[in-house]
A and B are shown apart, each in its own frame.
Chain A
Amino acid sequence: MSYSLIIAETRKGEFQEGNFDPLYLSDIVGLPSYILLPEGEYGILRGSCDKVIVAPLKEGEFLNPLNIIRLLERTFQAFGEPSAILLPHCSFGIDVAPYVAGRLGWPIITDISGFCRGEEGEIFIKTLYSEKINGHFRLKEGMRFVGTVRKGVFPKVAEVVKETLFEEAPSIEKDPRRDFIEYIEEEIEDVDITKADLLVSVGRGVKEKGNIPLFEELAALLGGVLSCSRPVADRAWLPKARQVGTSGKTVRPKVYFALGISGAFQHIAGMKDSDVIIAVNKDPSAPIFQYAHYGVVEDMHRLAQKMIENLRDQK
């Protein structure tokens, strides 16, 4: 019986929520699901999958593509070969999935955000061109592939309750060529953007560092705090602590006022739970308009100037 093997991520011992999307995708595809994990307690998985396979590896040894491939070889011997190897699309999945695909000679589809089955067979959907296009991909040689799955896109198939078996994976000799040393927490002293009621957030549309003060003034006049998307922090136009998104902060202000941000999922994931999202973009087809409550198609610089004039007049 074929199955899908979900290689799950834990961080500092914590089972990550993003693991559920590959699990739910496996249910939707209709494959039994085996979840492979590092040492730990996984009672929470009871009922949700067919097997929990715990590897005799510490987290730092497990989250390593070179050890995973050795573990897979032994796991295949013990449990048979799966038809899908699925991982969450995150810093772990993106580290392991391509390497495993290369070693096994299997196709890879990353960042899967949809699935359908029709006359053309099984179709996996992935976004392309800064999320303006959905690509429908088919495996040329049938169901045998490695995939990473975007977080929060697949719902739980309601009726699935399984009898979960807990097993141990065979032990492996660790690959000496890559070693985890330690976790490091970024320490940056700056305002805490997660505490603000109003975030005025600028993206690459701000164009250059010299334009930042305009938006700083706008934020100040409104009594809000200035935050940003990744490219703005990458260029050090604003401190890294102001970055919203998966690799920055997750924020939930009363109002998230986004200017010149296109709406990549790594950004959306960090602000989608804001009470109200207002997006300003000059491109009416910008993906952020799909997530915002209010949209304004306008040049952000012109708009900011005008707002500042109005606000100054009122003072």
Chain B
Amino acid sequence: MEVVVLAKWVPTTQEEELKIIDEGRSVDLEEVPFRMNEWDTYAIEEAVRIVKEHGGVGWVISMGSEDADTALRRGIAMGLERGVLLETEEDLIDPFQRAFIFKNLLQKKGIKFDLLLTGGQAEDDEFASTGGVLAGLLEVPYASMVIGIEEISGGEITLLRELEGGLMERVKMALPAVVSIQTGINEPRYVSVTGVLSAAKKERDFLSAADFMEGAKGLLQLIRVEIPPPKEGAEIIGGDLDGKVSGILNILKEKGVYK
């Protein structure tokens, strides 16, 4: 089994107050910490387990600035063997274009896969599209938001897709295929900082994304970013800690849920 994972190095914006710069054209990410896209951590863990069970080679491929090498090193520290980084300083926001560049890479470098995994979505732009577009470009089967891989045998994969409200569907697909992974499918193993550091000794390929742009047109333009216009919004309960606590308790009493 050749298993390829596409992994993204993303800004962790959940706890940050963001600023808009560049006359409304971009978000200031200078001070924001980056990490492996959460969904990709689950995809890598799944790949590591599949390779362990079925043999073969696991790859982690990323695209971004040189910092994204950390994504490769994390992937390798978790148990994958090969790493490829498509380096670019450009902010490639169009998932169609990104998928096209990955397609060019796979084809030009002769990277063959039985299974290509991506995270269900990236935390930064939440397009949830790169894997699906890539599958379409390569004309191979695709399934998204996979919450269980039950069996791989005889050139087929049986999996569970997560639907809404606790419902799932069981699907069978022919390999090679592209699958996007939903969080919670497994328990990603812990890797230590030293593990990630020592993965730097492993050979990785650093290529320039610019060499794989043939036909990879950007079809989408991000012309502006803005802080979403405020909705009605919450009434803020301020004051000191005691004030906040009694404010909350008063509401609970008013609503009759706490007596």
Report the minimum CB–CB distance from A87 to chain B (whole Å): 12
Q: How far does the alpha carbon of A276 sit from the alpha carbon of B222 in the complex, in Å? A: 37
> Hey, what's the 0/1 contact readout for B214-248 against A, CB within 8 Å counting as 1?
00011111111111101111111110011011111
Residues of A within 8 A of B23 (CB): none
A198–B258 touching, CB < 8 Å:
yes
Residues of A within 8 A of B258 (CB): 198, 222-224
Residues of A within 8 A of B167 (CB): 11, 183-186
> Hey, what's the 0/1 contact readout for A113-151 against B, CB within 8 Å counting as 1?
000000010010011111111111111110001000000
A3 within 8 A of B: no
Residues of A within 8 A of B244 (CB): 296, 298, 303
With A254-B256, A276-B251 as contacts: A285 and B18 at CB distance below 8 Å: yes
B220–A254 touching, CB < 8 Å:
no
Interface of A is mostly: mixed
A73 within 8 A of B: no
Chain A residues within 8 Å of chain B by Cβ, number: 104
In this complex, the member of A127, A230, A290, A303 whose beta carbon has the largest number of chain B beta carbons within 10 angstroms is A290
Q: How large is the interface on B (under 10, 10 to 19, 20 to 34, 35 or more residues)?
A: 35 or more
Which residue of chain A has the shortest Cβ distance to B13 in the bound complex? A129
Residues of B within 8 A of A44 (CB): none
A-B CB contacts (within 8 Å), total count:
307
Q: How far does the alpha carbon of A302 sit from the alpha carbon of B93 in the complex, in Å? A: 39
Residues of B within 8 A of A275 (CB): 255
| Interface 9-mer from B55-63, B107-115, B156-164, B202-210 | B156-164
Residues of A within 8 A of B164 (CB): 11, 90-91, 246-247
Report the minimum CB–CB distance from A223 to chain B (whole Å): 6
B252–A204 touching, CB < 8 Å:
no
A-B contact pairs, 12 of them (CB 8 A): A11-B167, A98-B142, A99-B142, A111-B126, A129-B27, A134-B225, A135-B225, A178-B174, A179-B172, A185-B168, A294-B235, A296-B244
Residue ranges of B at the interface with A (Cβ–Cβ < 8 Å)? 11, 13-18, 20, 27, 38, 93-96, 99, 123-139, 141-145, 158, 160-174, 177, 183-184, 187, 217-228, 230-238, 241-242, 244-249, 251-252, 255-259
